[in-house]
Amino acid sequence: MPDSYKHLLANLNPSHTGFQLDRPAANRKKFEELVHWIDTNLDNHIGLLELTQQSGLTLYELTQQFMLQTKLSPLQFIKELRKYKAAVELAKQVPVDNTYSLFEPDKDSDT
């Protein structure tokens, strides 16, 4: 069995950190810290491995927290956050009004 597959199975099996499932306040605090970390690192690649390492939660616990708090998977949340921040930045841009350029006389025509 490949090591990557063993690692995935270990992350999917919450038995070694199952006590954290009984401590929702601790998981919520980790979740909030993780969301802050995601926000500050949004321009970088963020995968499930980075999320589990940063949060200290298993993949199962991580997914459960995201589903409980946002109704989205971790990667869906990151995608939606990126879209939201892009929309906010777009809304901050000053619109360019080219209306007057439509009424400028054509300087090249001499009719």
pLDDT beyond 70 at 21: no
pLDDT at 74 over 90: yes
**% of the chain with per-residue pLDDT over 90:** 26
pLDDT per position as a tens digit, 77-105: 999 999 988 888 888 877 666 666 666 65
The helix (H) or strand (E) run that includes residue 51 is helix 48-55
Contact 13/60 with Cβ under 8 angstroms?
yes
Residue 76 has pLDDT above 60, yes or no: yes
Q: Which of 31, 68, 62, 29 is nearest to 47 (CA)?
A: 62
pTM for the whole structure: 0.62
**Mean predicted confidence (pLDDT) in 69-81:** 91
Top pLDDT among 15 and 63 is at 63
